[in-house]
Amino acid sequence: MRTIWTVISTVAVANVLALIGFVAWLGMTDRLSRERIERVRVIFATTVQEQAAAEAAEEARTRAEAEVQAAAQRMAAPPEPAAARIAQQQEAEEVRLQHVLRQQRELEDLRRTLERDRARLIEDENRLARAQQEFEEYRRRLAEIEGADQFKKALATLESQKPKDAKDVLQVMIDQRETEQVIAYLGAMDDRARGKIMAEFVKSDPRLAAELLERLRTRGTKLADAEAPAP
């Protein structure tokens, strides 16, 4: 027992001496002063909760002082003139009014655009209806001309004549403004007979022959359109 006590006493004395030596080292190296010792004492004199409460109180006091100072500055500042407030309100109202007017102009432009598109669509529909009506009338005239028995008989008579005589008969019909029927005869003829008759037209009037050829071409186009299915 005496031995254990001796060992404990020796360790305690050694720790005390080491602590004294550490404190002395701090003092000699200018790392320890009375102010620092006091601060350490103050830190350990209060609990953690007490320190937190003190810091919160200090923060609240600082915030209250800042609010009081801000209020004092506002009170010290000169009041805003009524004319300035009215001018600001008028400016804001002017901005809002300009925005509303711009929206109205955009809506009006859109309305006019839609009206123009609608009028253009109606015009296109009317044009298509007129073209369809003219086309149906053309088909009806073709049916009346080419479908009649008398037409077939007259066509056979023309094909049996000499090319020059047939050309003269067709020339008389052209002079009587029956060119459409002449084109119907030429279109229904045999290719060989039509070629000989056209050769006679070329001899007498090349310009008329060219016009008849163009009418035959466009008539073929119209017939193709007539036989095509309707959209």
| One domain for residues 167 and 215 | yes
Contact 196, 158 (CB under 8 A): no
| One domain for residues 220 and 181 | yes
Question: What's the rounded mean pLDDT across residues 226-231?
Answer: 41
| One domain for residues 140 and 162 | no
Question: 75-84, 146-155, 164-173: which has the minimum mean pLDDT?
Answer: 75-84
| Structural domain boundaries, residue 185 | 148-227
| One domain for residues 136 and 154 | no
| One domain for residues 83 and 125 | yes
Question: What's the rounded mean pLDDT across residues 146-158?
Answer: 74
Q: pLDDT class for 227, splitting at 50, 70, 90? A: very low
Last residue of a domain, one of 144, 169, 198: 144
Q: pLDDT class for 207, splitting at 50, 70, 90? A: very high
| One domain for residues 40 and 18 | yes
User: How many independent structural domains does the chain possess?
Assistant: 3
Last residue of a domain, one of 55, 73, 91: 73
| One domain for residues 138 and 152 | no
| One domain for residues 119 and 59 | no
| One domain for residues 160 and 214 | yes
Each residue's pLDDT tens digit, 66-122: 887 877 776 666 655 677 778 788 888 888 888 888 888 888 888 888 888 888 888
Q: pLDDT class for 140, splitting at 50, 70, 90? A: low
